[in-house]
């Protein structure tokens, strides 16, 4: 009899893609077969997969667009996860739900622990927080993993944007007063699978609740950009000069948290999982991008 799969939502998103590479037991679903805007598709995909565990990596992540499209953000980030968690609860299937550092306002001045007060500054963060609460109240055996600043060699992310823009410009400006923990999707996938393995071995009450899962250490967006172009220079790529600016110099529809560093101690204490330092993860992402560019 075939082993029941790990059902991963989010289709071709960064984490879903990384999970599919990392494990042969992953079954990915995404639009149009699985769509939080079509609630009937959620149950159909769940029933068809008959999963041993679910990882919900699907979300509305367009932070600025969410400010003018709140209904869509809440459908994807609250209502869809609530329905999925209900299905997991009814079937007795564990759920790992991916959330975000944007549930915090960034004013603490130190890395956030899971028990810190939440206070999102925009619709995206508020809708993700509402999703967390929906999952936690569903009755499902659920762990919520908050992560941050995710990058991968595929998909849309800051790292790929820097390399693309850097090819055509001699000088760039990047925000230097927002601090956080860059996270490789590949490293996050390894962490998710390690948590999943523990859950499938036997449920423990301390597996439930919120955990922080991000790359070790911290930096700013300016720091990430400098590291990206350092790697590019080693590959012989032409790189631009990068100048630091303040958030006020780069206005956006959504307000970002100024300091959303995450303390990931609880994840290590409960699951024995700690993600590598952000610089190591970034180096692997850029190496994969360069390898593809040279193929």
User: What's the DSSP call for residue 76?
Assistant: I
Q: Output phi, psi for 96, to 5 deg.
A: -110, 115
Q: Output phi, psi for 210, to 5 deg.
A: -100, 140
Report how far residue 274's alpha carbon sits from residue 187's, in angstroms, rounded to the nearest whole number.
Answer: 9
114 touches 209 (CB < 8 A): yes
Is there a catalytic annotation at residue 124?
Answer: yes
C-alpha distances (whole Å) from 114 to each of 81, 212, 224 are 20, 7, 25
Tell me if the bond preceding 23 is cis, omega within 30° of 0: no
263 touches 214 (CB < 8 A): no
Q: Using only C-alpha atoms, what is the Rg of the chain?
A: 19
All residues at 6 or more sequence positions from 15 whose CB lies less than 8 Å from its CB, including other chains? 8, 55, 57, 98, 150, 152, 185, 188, 189, 192
Strand-pair partners of 174: 244
Size of the chain in residues? 295
The tally of CA atoms less than 13 A away on the side-chain side of residue 291 is 8
How, if at all, do strands 53-56 and 6-9 pair?
A: parallel
Question: Which is catalytic among the residues 112, 124, 152, 207?
Answer: 124
- Residues with catalytic roles: 124
């Amino acid at each position: 009899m075939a082993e029941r799969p790990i059902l991963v939502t989010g289709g071709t998103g960064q984490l879903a893609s990384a999970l599919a590479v990392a494990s042969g037991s992953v079954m990915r679903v995404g639009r149009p077969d699985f769509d939080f805007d079509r609630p009937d598709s959620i149950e159909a995909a769940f029933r068809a997969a008959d999963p041993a565990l679910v990882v919900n990596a699907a979300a509305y992540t367009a932070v600025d667009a969410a400010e003018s499209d709140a209904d869509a953000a809440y459908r994807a980030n609250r209502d869809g996860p609530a329905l999925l968690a209900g299905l997991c609860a009814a079937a007795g299937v564990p759920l790992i739900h991916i959330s975000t550092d944007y549930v915090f306002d960034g004013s603490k001045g130190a890395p956030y622990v899971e028990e810190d007060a939440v206070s999102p500054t925009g619709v995206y963060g508020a809708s993700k927080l509402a999703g967390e609460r929906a999952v936690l109240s569903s009755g499902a055996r659920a762990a919520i993993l908050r992560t941050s600043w995710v990058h991968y060699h595929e998909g849309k992310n800051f790292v790929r944007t820097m390399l693309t823009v850097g090819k055509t410009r001699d000088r760039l400006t990047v925000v230097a007063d927002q601090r956080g923990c860059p996270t490789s999707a590949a490293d996050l996938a390894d962490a998710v699978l390690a948590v999943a393995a523990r859950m499938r071995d036997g449920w423990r009450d301390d597996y439930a609740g919120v955990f922080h899962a991000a790359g070790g250490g911290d930096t700013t967006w300016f720091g990430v950009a400098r590291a990206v172009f350092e790697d590019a220079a080693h590959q012989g790529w032409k790189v631009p000069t990068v100048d630091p600016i303040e958030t006020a110099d780069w206005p956006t529809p959504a307000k970002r948290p100024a300091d959303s560093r995450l303390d990931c101690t609880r994840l290590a204490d409960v699951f024995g999982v700690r993600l590598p330092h952000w610089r190591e993860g970034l180096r692997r992402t850029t190496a994969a991008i360069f390898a593809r560019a040279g193929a």
